[in-house]
Structure 1
Amino acid sequence: MEVKKFTLITGASMGIGKAFAFECASRGMNLLLIALPDDGLEETKKQINLRFSVEIITLAIDLRDHEAVRSLYDYCIQQNLVVNMLINNAGMGAGGKFEEISHEIYTDMLHLNIRALTMLTYHFLPMLKQHAPAFILNMSSMEANFPLPYKSVYTGTKNFVYAFSLALREELSHCNVKVSVLCPGPVLTNSDGLKRINAVGNRAKMIMLMPAEVAKIGVNNLLKGQGIVVPGKINWTIVKLMKLFPTGLKMKLLERLFRVYTDH
């Protein structure tokens, strides 16, 4: 009997996560969509069902909870759900002076951006290996390449995702499990995202992409086996050029560019 396989997407009810869901459905993939309770999951499912004939399972889970990942994995085992693609998209950020952001926000950010992503990969990796070819796409950020003043914890978490993904990719190079890390620049996902883009100004708008563009580029390159994916030619050029700057000069430049976050 043929096993029915699913693509698991976290943070799937809005923004890039929702775009991932549509992109994967357009390719005939069955979906296991995870998002916060009461966060538009059923509406996303309804919209996808109007356009694509794929099976969709939705689960309202707060991945910041310590037992959430294990509960999700246990659910899949109990329901005989086979995951052959894991898209670790869920995440959160904050900008401002380090000491002026609450420790609760930092705790949530560390749990969601690092702990949940790592434990999801840990629990589902044996299943992915068993049902290869399989794929892992981890959502980092273009900012993982830059230690940004006024976004120190956020960029630290995204740097972890970047390093973790590349290291795991090498570990799995002899398996048929491909790992990619997606590093987008500014993406217009919601009203808060628009405020952040407006705060940085025209330079952010020049490199801004829409969620559907990022999702398509991400999935295309994941399936091709690309390790690092930076959507947008300008973004990719900026990442390369910034590596040529001396660290001291680069940090002074970044501090001036992102000083706007002290007021936003």
Structure 2
Amino acid sequence: MKTYSLITGASQGFGKAMALEFAKREMNLILVALPNSGLKKVSNFIEQHLQVRVHCLEFDLSFTESCYAVARYIETHNLPVKYLVNNAGVLSRGLFSGLDENYILKQIDVNVMTPTLLIKLLLANLKRNAPSGILNISSMASFFALPKKQVYGGTKAYLTSFSRSLAKELKPDNVSVTIICPGGLNTTTRLCYQNRLMGWVTRQSVLNPEDAATIAVEALLKGKAMVVPGFINKCLMVLDKLLPEIIKDKLAEREINKLPVST
């Protein structure tokens, strides 16, 4: 029986790019995204043009029950999962005092609860199909203290730390855990516009989702623990260790002030 790769947030942007990347490698897919987000169109395109089997699941993953529903579907249809890609996430930017509390809680649910619970529910399946792997999509924001991205950065810091610890636990089971920490991605028209507003260094760190997807999938298949894609992003990681805090604060403030305040 051929195995499947499960990808959340697969209807657009980075998730869609990864779904296409997996399909090009002749891997069957279980794609999960919000209802009415274009997931069925993506699934039909992949099945027709790339000749792989696709299961299309429309759920709002900000609800715990949706995670259980995904797990029940996989169990009911006896789908062997070899790779789990936790890509679904909620972005936000703005002063913490101005953020809606319900939106904050939704962001924590999608960015923290959902990947944690899905891994827990599907771990036995992944172990049965070992060697297998988990790919968690974090962010460069998990390493830096960025005003106006405090909740987002905090949730991604959790995911980065969680993934690194889990990788050590699951190594004896031959289940790899890969964390990828991209900078900006040109995934939507709004983000493309916002990325163009940033300074030269930040603009150079931005990747197209197709390029980032190739890097991410190759890292997963090789069982790498952590990947920071892009030369500029790697340089920023080094500079973060070298620069005094006062300089880093000024650079971060200058860049973040160029962003719109709204979520």
Q: TM-score range by the shorter chain?
A: over 0.9
Letter aligned with residue 44 of structure 2: K
So what's the TM-score if we normalise by structure 1?
A: 0.95
- In structure 2, the residue corresponding to 1:19 is in which secondary structure? helix
Which residue in the other structure is 2:50 paired with?
A: 52
Greater Cα offset, 17-26 or 190-199: 190-199
Aligned to 2:254: 256
Partner of 1:66: 64
Counterpart Cα distance in 2 of 1:136 and 1:263 = 34
SS of the aligned residue for 2:249 comes to helix
Calculate percent identity across the aligned residue pairs.
39
TM-score, reference length from structure 2: 0.95
Long gaps (5+) in structure 1: none
Say which is worse superposed, 32-41 or 75-84, in terms of deviation: 75-84
Q: CA deviation at 1:66?
A: 2.1
Tell me the secondary structure at the aligned position of residue 64 of structure 2: coil
Offset at residue 169 of structure 1 (A): 0.5
Output aligned runs, 1:1-264, within 5 Å.
Answer: 3-261=1-259, 263=261
Contact 2:228 2:234 in 1 (8 A): yes
Q: How far 1:95 moved relative to its partner?
A: 0.7
Letter in 1 for 2:82: N
What secondary structure is seen at the aligned counterpart in 2 of 1:121?
helix
Q: Distance in 1 between matches of 2:167 and 2:44?
A: 35
Structure 1 residue runs of 4 or more that deviate by more than 6 Å after TM superposition: none
**Alpha-carbon contact 1:97-1:262 (below 8 Å) kept:** no
Question: Which residue type is aligned with residue 29 of structure 2?
Answer: L
Query: For the Cα contact (< 8 Å) 2:93–2:261, is it kept in 1?
Result: no
Q: Distance in 1 between matches of 2:110 and 2:74?
A: 20
Give the SS at the match of 1:180. Answer: strand
Give the C-alpha shift of residue 237 in structure 1. 1.3
- Structure 2: segments with no counterpart, 5+ residues: none
Shift of 1:215: 0.5
Deviation, 1:87, is 0.2
Deviation string for 1:211-247 (max 9, x for gaps)? 1101100000111111111111111111122122234
- 26-35 or 247-256, which deviates more: 247-256
